[in-house]
Amino acid sequence: MTQPNTKQPNPANFPPRFTWGVATSSYQIEGAAHEDGRSQSIWDTFCATPGKVLNGENGDVACDHYHRLDSDLDLIRGLGVNAYRFSVAWPRIVPDGRGATNRAGLDFYSRLVDGLLARGITPWPTLYHWDLPQVLQDRGGWPARDTALAFGDYAEVVTAELGDRVKHWITINEPWCAAFLGYGNGIHAPGHTDLAESFAASHHLLLAHGLGVQAVRANAPGAQVGITLNLAGAYPATDSEADKAAAHRQDGFANRWYLDPVFGRGYPQDFVELLGAASPQAQGLVLPGDLETIAAPTDFLGVNMYSRSVVEDAPGEGFLGLRQVHVAGSEYTGFDWEVAPQSLTDLMLRLQKDYNPAALYITENGATYPDSVEDDGTVHDGARTRYFQQHIAAVGDALAGGAKMAGYFAWSLMDNFEWAEGYDKRFGIVHVDFETQARTLKQSGQWYRDFLVRAQEGQPA
Contacts of residue 336, defined as CB under 8 A and 6 or more positions apart, other chains included, come to: none
The C-alpha torsion from 117 through 118 and 121 to 126, rounded to 10°, is: -40
Amino acid at 49: T
Q: Which parts of the chain sit beneath pLDDT 50?
A: 1-5
Using a cut of 0.95, tell me whether the model's pTM lies above it.
yes
Task: Say whether 90 sits in a helix, a strand or coil.
Answer: helix
pLDDT tens-digit series, residues 24-35: 999 999 999 999
Furthest CA-CA distance within the chain: 63
pLDDT tens-digit series, residues 148-203: 999 999 999 999 999 999 999 999 999 999 999 999 999 999 999 999 999 999 99
pLDDT tens-digit series, residues 99-115: 999 999 999 999 999 99
Q: Strands across the sheet with 309-313, in order?
A: 234-236, 309-313, 322-324
pLDDT tens-digit series, residues 402-452: 999 999 999 999 999 999 999 999 999 999 999 999 999 999 999 999 999
- Sign for the CA dihedral angle at 380, 302, 247, 321 comes to positive
Per the annotation, the verdict on 174 as an active-site residue is: yes
At residue 4, the pLDDT reads 43
- Sign for the CA dihedral angle at 207, 208, 211, 212 comes to negative
At residue 449, the pLDDT reads 98
CA-CA distances (angstroms) from residue 166 to 18, 84, 119, 122, 160? 18, 12, 14, 8, 10
Nearest Cα to Cα of residue 114 among 102, 122, 103: 122
At residue 2, the pLDDT reads 43
Give burial (CB, 10 Å; 0-12/13-18/19+) of 344. buried
CA distance 407 to 413: 16
At residue 1, the pLDDT reads 43
Catalytic residue among 57, 197, 338, 364: 364
Nearest Cα to Cα of residue 20 among 272, 392, 333: 392
Yes or no: say if 429 and 445 are a contact pair by the CB < 8 Å rule: yes
- Phi and psi dihedrals of 161, rounded to 5? -75, -45
At residue 372, the pLDDT reads 87
Catalytic residue among 174, 197, 338, 418: 174
Other beta carbons less than 10 A from residue 168's beta carbon: 22
